[in-house]
Amino acid sequence: ARTAVGDPQAVLAAADPESPGGVARAEFAAAVRSEIERRKRRLGVLSYDDLLSRLAEALESDDSPARARMRQRWRIVLVDEFQDTDPVQWAVLDRAFTGHATMVLIGDPKQAIYGFRGGDVVTYLTAARAATTQATLATNRRSDEPLVRSLLVPLSGAALGDPEIVVRPVEAHHRGSRLKGAPSDAPFRVRRVPRDAGFALNKGGLVNARDARAFIADDCAADIARLLGSGATWCGVRLEAGQVAVIVSIRDHGLLVQRALQARGIPAVMAGGGDVFLTPAGDEWLTLLAAMEAPHRSGLVRAAALTSFFGRTAEELDAEGEALTGRVADTLRGWALLLRGRGVAALVEAAEERGLTPRLLGRVDGERLLTDLRHLGQLLHEISVRDDLGLTALLEWFRDERRRVGASERPRRLDSDAAAVQIVTVHGSKGLEYPVTYLPFAYQLYQFPVDVARFHDEQGRRTLDVSGGGAGWDGNVRRHQEEELGEELRDLYVALTRAQSQVVTWWAPTTNTTTGGLHRLLFGRQPGVAEVPASMAVRDDEYAARVLGLIEELGGPAAEVAEIADGTATVTPEEAESLEVRIFDRVVDTEWRRTSYSGLIRAEEEAGVGSEPEVVGREDEPDSTAPDLPDLVDLMAIEAVAARGPASPMADLPAGATFGSLVHAVLEHTDPDAPDLEAELRRHVAEQLRWWYVPAEPAAIAEALVPVLHSPLGPLAPGLTLAEIPLRDRLRELDFELPLAGGDSRRGAVGAAKGRGVRSEGAGEARLRDVAALLRHHLPAADPLLPYADRLEQPALGDQALRGYLSGSVDVVLRVPGDVEDRYLVVDYKTNRLGAQGVPSTADDYGPAELGEAMLHSHYPLQALLYSVVVHRYLRWRLAGYDPERHLGGVLYLYLRGMCGPDTPVTGGHPAGVFSWRPPAALVLELSDLLDGEVVSR
């Protein structure tokens, strides 16, 4: 089912009706597909495959309006890498443009190696047969002529998985070899591993595949060491490790070679596919940085306006002229100041605020471009921080890095990976080139057992057989394996053609050799025959040596015997620099930190503690047991309990941070719509007790939580209880990490780029005392939390700097209906035990006055405000048409021990245990600005 869902365009083959198991598997896969589609429709979700499929459907009719619009908009269509196109993509192109536009399809079927992720070479062949004109590139501009000639000996005329995919002879642009002074001047080498090299053979006389790989990895490392230590040059400059690539099929094989290289002192890195510096995103970053450095040059400014950072078009530039150019130049000047003051990360954030993400995601290729832009932004940020580069130096580094990646001669190397042997997968190497490549394991292929057969049927449709058995299963598996072996040959072609001057391969007589691409090509293909057999028996060493020798005589790869060289052959080290101990002489800025609400208030030595420590359990209350009661208890106080309202449902339960963490976890996971709510609570209590153990029975805890969920929530959620708010209206455990006054800025740079805001007197930076001024300005005199402003002005708290990053987690955000539209409430659960020590708690201990005092005592007003800012920023980001006045619903602090069910006492409209507070939206907005470094004096 997973394969069927992952390849939605493939047809599901009919199962043999005589195979009940196969029918069940096929029906299950079809049912899962249908259910996925049903859920996507219900949730309003569209994948990129859905967008393509819907477009193809819209284009199906001859009189489709979509056809007319696309033909009117595009008269010439060029499609690159067409060999990786799938049937739906081709259906879109074919229906829209065939016969109505000039369509140029550019592709190389010999490099069609992405069948595993939907690339369909059959689609390419179908389109190629229908083309009115065909042209072929007959000149190889990558590889040297000696290498091209040698590669063509085994490759020329070979069919790579299909009779229509044949390797044709080509000419070479580079006439001689650019590699000079190497230990071997052969452009193409095959190193044969002999059976007598110390291997234990199986009954068939073959070497264990794992033993052979270990031997070859060591031999490969030794050969690279000889090459790098030989003083060989490429294009007249000494060959470096970074110009050598090891190409493997899977990452594990690459790691094997990497360890062997490192054992010889040769640096080696596992590289990704392609280089992000040479992508369109790299072009856009280069354009932007150049324009930021010279915003007075209108040509650079107008070029920057056309990038994704601004999203302008040539038509807009022409229509708006100098006015638009001036506005873009002003933005570029501001961004240059922002980069100098707060770094590249702040620049990326500014671009995001101008709509970079939605602008790109509206494009077909936008997701890839956005990922690359962010990736490059991260790299630019890292190098600017590491080397303290300004704008001009950063631009120069970026240009050098692009030159280094794309150059064909020794460039400046600023990245540490540049001096290391590059280890890449075949798929990662596609489109790349290296002076020297090593293919240590191209001789072998392990074919995994087939669980799902993927193949093309008689109509050329990509098909999945998930039945696992039945009359047609064996034939479908055979087709699957034939297509897999064809793609293996194309993998080999891609790997062999990455080299510019020399390629080195290996051959070994192992249990996995019979189906390996290189083995089948060298030993299985008959002269003058295009077909490469699906498998070829492995014969004795004498036969292998004779065949490889004959191929060498024809001008093919040089036949060598793999003999691991002395381990002392390593790269000649460069002259070492003198070393001296560095002195740590800078001042650590301890106020620039990652903190939390609890960390901010920890400076004041009071009993109240926060509920969100950064690592361990909840700190809703001091984690200590109550002291033993004295011998003479105030009996009158205990007798008076009955007159103080309903008893707390948690009166007999433990207290402390562990209990608070337990209750938080249970409420987070409980589904209020469960048919049996108490049973649902018991189940989650039992699960969470394994992590947060307290000496109480699960049934007792669950029974105490039932009335909590049925207690009224007060005026901010009129008529509602927690049990009546479903999971779809809850955002549970909203984790956050937000910058405090520019967490990415250095001291003295906070807010500098914004150009607004005045520091409060005596404070060079935002501090907690500035929150007090906001409270006094925005809260009415009768607000129960206004006195907290006095607490914030005490030096222990008020001097706390708001710099760095603030992290934490909001217990839950509730979406509740308002008068016109939904509102969002910040909710925090508290299990604090209030009231007299040793006296059972009742609802009266959690009345409005008592809760107000508890809020002030425990610094919860600060927590409530910070969490309100978090939700404000989240809604601003995610909610269309967001208006703080309408959508910010306020804060609920739920003191669970005081919530006694439907009969909870209500005083002045406020139920016991529920502290309701709706800070003015203007207060939340100004606090958000304060946290961003804007401190307004009052």
Which residues are tagged catalytic?
828
Which own/partner pairs from 17-26 qualify as long-range (CB within 8 Å, at least 24 positions apart)? 18/470, 18/471, 19/467, 19/469, 19/470, 19/471, 19/473, 21/467, 21/468, 21/469, 22/467, 22/468, 22/469, 22/470, 22/473, 23/467, 25/466, 25/467, 25/468, 26/466, 26/467
Burial of 748 (0-12, 13-18, 19+ CB in 10 A): exposed
Minimal CA–CA distance to 606: which of 792, 789, 858, 787? 858
Strands annotated E in 443-522: 453-456, 462-465, 499-507
List the structure tokens of 358. 């939605």
Separation of alpha carbons 814 and 728, rounded Å: 9
Burial of 605 (0-12, 13-18, 19+ CB in 10 A): exposed
- Beta bridge partners of residue 244, listed in sequence order: 436
- Asked if 194 and 418 touch (Cβ cutoff 8 Å), the reply is no
- Asked if 118 and 432 touch (Cβ cutoff 8 Å), the reply is no
Separation of alpha carbons 539 and 663, rounded Å: 70
DSSP letter string over 624-644?
SPPPPPPSS--HHHHHGGGGS
Longest CA–CA span in the chain (Å) reads 111
Separation of alpha carbons 437 and 246, rounded Å: 6
Close Cβ partners of 263 (under 8 Å, ≥ 6 residues apart): 221
Output b/e per residue, 767-793; b: 16+ Cβ within 10 A: bbbbbbbbbeebbeeebbbbebbebbb
Separation of alpha carbons 938 and 657, rounded Å: 39
Residue 597's CB: how many other CB atoms inside 10 A? 23
CA triplet 779, 783, 786: central angle to 5 degrees? 65
* 3-state class (DSSP) for residue 833: coil
Residue 543's CB: how many other CB atoms inside 10 A? 12
Angle between helices 366-387 and 391-406 (to 10 degrees): 120
Minimal CA–CA distance to 646: which of 504, 844, 873? 844
Separation of alpha carbons 729 and 707, rounded Å: 20
- Asked if 484 and 160 touch (Cβ cutoff 8 Å), the reply is no
Residue 640's CB: how many other CB atoms inside 10 A? 12
- Beta bridge partners of residue 731, listed in sequence order: 813
Burial of 213 (0-12, 13-18, 19+ CB in 10 A): buried
DSSP letter string over 578-620?
P-------SPP-TTSEEE-HHHHHTTS--S---S--SSSS--S
By residue count, the chain amounts to: 938
User: In which residue are the tokens 């920057």 written?
Assistant: 304
List the structure tokens of 199. 């291997």
- Give 226-260 as a 3 state SS string: HHHHCCCEECCEECCHHHEEEEECCHHHHHHHHHH
